[in-house]
Structure 1
Amino acid sequence: MTPDQYCEDKAAQSGSSFYYSFRFLPQAQRLAITALYAFCREVDDVVDECHDENVARTKLAWWRAEIDKLYAGAPEHPVTRALVGPVQTFELQREHFLEIIDGMQMDLEQARYNSFKDLQLYCYRVASVVGLMAARIFGYEDKDTQKYAHDLGIAFQLTNIIRDVGEDARRGRIYLPVEELQRFNVPAADLLNYRETPEFKALMLFQIERAEQYYDKAIAQLPRVDRKRQRTGLVMAAIYRATLDEIKRDGPEKVLNQRLSLTPIRKLWLAWRTWWFG
């Protein structure tokens, strides 16, 4: 199996919305973004699948060393071998890969965030940095496109947090800021025991509204000159916003006990429509 095929399989197995948005890209960009996504999956899986924190820390340290090997021209893992070309072609920064790993390590070091400001650092590392790297792969002329990529990454991560509240609670993690839990009178115990209360529903509607504001802000900041090049990000935004709409329509309190996901057919339809018609 070639490194590129390994990354393709890794992306396809995830069933992620991101995978569907890659399908319309030219080959060089598609291989690059697929390799970047596979890297994110690999380091995310370290945290999600390792039950021993010491083992997880050791694996993340290995990935940091592997990034050093990538930039020294001697990578060992199929994903980093697949990234050799994209790193050179699209001038991807070493620091950004390390920031992503730092974000994953935050999951080993804290399971609560006191304020939204605290949560923003986590969102930046695990999502905005990926957005900035993706924007380089897609290409842009106007530097303001970086602001769009940053805020779109925040919007994506907030959507993930909303969608995965129940799943994260089962892992003992609560990403919703403590200050906001207190403001809406939602004890952490309600999340950990999956109680769908009116207070929790109001809290989730607030979270959804903030995510929607980040989508609106991001799209508004995308310069017209770069809109066509950044269509892949717009495809992802369409799929993620549709997911957010479904959560709101179905009842946002239900995220505690179910994980909503769009069907593959709907994701493909949204991807096709957004790619060709915006």
Structure 2
Amino acid sequence: MASSQDITRKAKSNLAITLLCLPKERKKDMVTFYAFCRVIDDLTDDLDIPIEKRKRGLQEWREGIDQGFSEPDELQSEVTELISRHEISKQPFLDLIDGCASDLQPQRFGSWSELENYTYRVASCVGIISTRIFGCTHPDSEKYAVALGHALQITNILRDVDEDLRNGGRIYLPLDDFTRFQYSERDLIGRVHDGRFMAMMAWQADRAEKYYQQALTHLQPEDAKALRAAEAMRKIYHTILKKMRADGFQVFKQRYSISKPRKIAILAATFLGG
């Protein structure tokens, strides 16, 4: 398996970009953690890998973190050392793996409560682990991480509606919201973009907005510096959410993003205290 440095270097995600601005002593560990997340995500989504092999890979990671790896590769050794060095609970790692593993089979979420459990596992747990690596000390920083995780994942879900449909027919929008706006799964699969669809998407965006604001209420001065990378992520994804809303959620026609110069400007403002 490639090293954590190689995995992160090849990645083009917003998270990978924000890691470049971390203090040297924190950057190495976050690169390791990012590489772990990337590998777990690839085991979930890479359709070129037979599903049984993906299941075995995820189970190997889960058992290794929970009970220890018998013959760890380079990344597995780095992750084990990371957990020990920062005294991080294994539970958010296990929850993250379980959340990703649930994507191996098409699933539906009947309500926000069900989806919230999923977004906690695949996104909030990433934040919880990150706060330990960042060196946060205030107890509210974990609440910040949980809220921000929900906000980021909802934003991802809205942005990736079309991509998820093409990737195994995945639908993450809660089914009770389809009923609320009299919009159906058949409509979604048919890429029907009308007033009902925009209203349903705006409802989800409002939910994300509440979590973005909730995260800010838990951002404490003593951890503000440690959470600058997370704040950069918040600003980048919040910008994407607002861009989708302003454009009427044209997610069947494009995948929303912001330009690299805009990301750099956000990073610069955040790390300079703006």
**TM-score (normalised: structure 2):** 0.92
Residues 206, 65 of structure 1: alpha-carbon distance in 2 compared, 3 angstrom cutoff: same
Q: Does 1:18 align with 2:15?
A: yes
Q: Does 1:168 align with 2:157?
A: no
| TM-superposed deviation, 1:108 | 2.4
Instruction: Choose which of 259, 270, 273 in structure 2 pairs with 1:274.
Output: 270
DSSP 3-state at the match of 1:76: coil
Instruction: Name 2:65's counterpart in structure 1.
Output: 67
DSSP 3-state at the match of 2:171: coil
Instruction: Choose which of 109, 116, 123 in structure 2 pairs with 1:120.
Output: 116
Instruction: Choose which of 174, 179, 184 in structure 2 pairs with 1:182.
Output: 179
Within a 5 Å distance, the mapping from 1:232-243 to structure 2 comes to 232-243=229-240
DSSP 3-state at the match of 2:272: helix
Within a 5 Å distance, the mapping from 1:131-170 to structure 2 comes to 131-170=127-166
Alignment partners' CA distance in 2, 1:86 and 1:192: 42
Kept after mapping to 2: 8 A contact 1:191/1:256: no
Residues 230, 75 of structure 1: alpha-carbon distance in 2 compared, 3 angstrom cutoff: farther
DSSP 3-state at the match of 1:91: coil
- Cα distance per residue 1:25-72 (max 9 Å; x no partner): 122211111111111111111121136433332221122233246x46
- Structure 1 letter corresponding to 2:59: A
Q: Does 1:58 align with 2:56?
A: yes
Alignment partners' CA distance in 1, 2:75 and 2:259: 28
Instruction: Name 2:34's counterpart in structure 1.
Output: 37
| TM-superposed deviation, 1:75 | 5.5
Alignment partners' CA distance in 1, 2:124 and 2:99: 11
Alignment partners' CA distance in 2, 1:121 and 1:163: 20
Q: Does 1:215 align with 2:212?
A: yes
The structure where helix makes up a greater share of residues is 1
- Structure 1 letter corresponding to 2:245: K
DSSP 3-state at the match of 2:20: coil
Instruction: Name 1:80's counterpart in structure 2.
Output: 76
| TM-superposed deviation, 1:12 | 3.3
Kept after mapping to 2: 8 A contact 1:75/1:81: no
Alignment partners' CA distance in 2, 1:53 and 1:113: 22
Alignment partners' CA distance in 2, 1:106 and 1:81: 25
Aligned positions, number: 272
Unaligned runs of 5+ in 2: none
Kept after mapping to 2: 8 A contact 1:47/1:108: yes
- Structure 1 letter corresponding to 2:7: K
| TM-superposed deviation, 1:189 | 1.2
Instruction: Choose which of 212, 222, 226 in structure 1 pairs with 2:223.
Output: 226
Kept after mapping to 1: 8 A contact 2:231/2:270: yes
Instruction: Name 1:265's counterpart in structure 2.
Output: 261
Residues 75, 99 of structure 1: alpha-carbon distance in 2 compared, 3 angstrom cutoff: farther
Alignment partners' CA distance in 2, 1:85 and 1:57: 24
DSSP 3-state at the match of 2:138: coil
- Structure 1 letter corresponding to 2:51: E
Residues 201, 187 of structure 1: alpha-carbon distance in 2 compared, 3 angstrom cutoff: same
Alignment partners' CA distance in 2, 1:116 and 1:230: 27
The alignment yields a C-alpha RMSD, in angstroms, of 1.9
- Cα distance per residue 1:60-91 (max 9 Å; x no partner): 1122233246x46x662332233244222211
DSSP 3-state at the match of 1:256: coil
Q: Does 1:201 align with 2:182?
A: no
DSSP 3-state at the match of 2:267: helix
Kept after mapping to 2: 8 A contact 1:7/1:79: yes
Unaligned runs of 5+ in 1: none
Which has the higher mean CA deviation after the structures are superposed, 159-168 or 17-26? 17-26
Instruction: Choose which of 242, 246, 249 in structure 2 pairs with 1:245.
Output: 242
Q: What percentage of residue pairs aligned between the two structures are identical? A: 35
- Structure 1 letter corresponding to 2:15: F
